[in-house]
Amino acid sequence: MKLLFMGPPGAGKGTQAKIICDDYKIPQISTGEILRAAVKNGTELGRQAQEFMNAGKLVPDEVVIGIVRERIKEPDASNGYILDGFPRTIEQARALDSMLEEMGQQLDVALNLDVPDEELIKRLLDRAQKDGRKDDTEPVIKNRLKVYNDQTHPLIEYYSKSGLLRSINGLGSMEEITARIRTTLKEVES
């Protein structure tokens, strides 16, 4: 199963991706987590990404495309993977299409978690208190939502045109949302 999780910041992509990865025994490839680890370890990649992340801006396309290009070639990704938080721009989606074509692979589904803005702000502020992520302050959250609406939201149309899009209602308990995702994936598999 090769799938990607789209959705605005705070939609629950990361949490749900972890659960579904466990179901299918496939790795979760989260560009956000890879970038946060690089910042923490003070690598060259981290140095390049840090300023963008702290401001709630997107890290340049070529940087994240390079990360994913390497990561999906790893042996643990040969049976499938979940791309969590990638692609986030049309440019990234096009790059992913050509990577997959080169590798003779195809995506099974692009899952979009649908959550209204007011609920997202509430959840993100909540997470800020719990995890202390540097990019979870109110002005940065607002910027991340704007970046999402301007740059990532157009991907819904992109994947809708290619017939891969499935939208999931992202309101409700974690368990309810997981159940909706599992049902959708069963439909995709059958």
* Element holding 84 (H helix, E strand): strand 81-84
How many Å apart are CA 64 and CA 88, to the nearest integer? Answer: 10
CB of 38 to ligand AMP, least distance (A): 10
CB of 57 to ligand AMP, least distance (A): 6
Beta carbon nearer to ligand AMP, 146 or 187: 146
Out of 2, 88, 123, 180, the active site residue is 88
Beta carbon nearer to ligand AMP, 35 or 177: 35
How many Å apart are CA 152 and CA 48, to the nearest integer? Answer: 21
CB 168 within 8 A of CB 111: yes
Has 133 been annotated as catalytic?
Answer: yes
CB of 54 to ligand AMP, least distance (A): 8
Has 127 been annotated as catalytic?
Answer: yes
Beta carbon nearer to ligand AMP, 3 or 53: 53
Has 146 been annotated as catalytic?
Answer: no
| C-alpha torsion sign, points 94, 95, 96, 102 | positive
Half-sphere exposure of 75 (CA within 13 A, CB side): 0
Give me the active site residues, please.
13, 88, 127, 133, 144
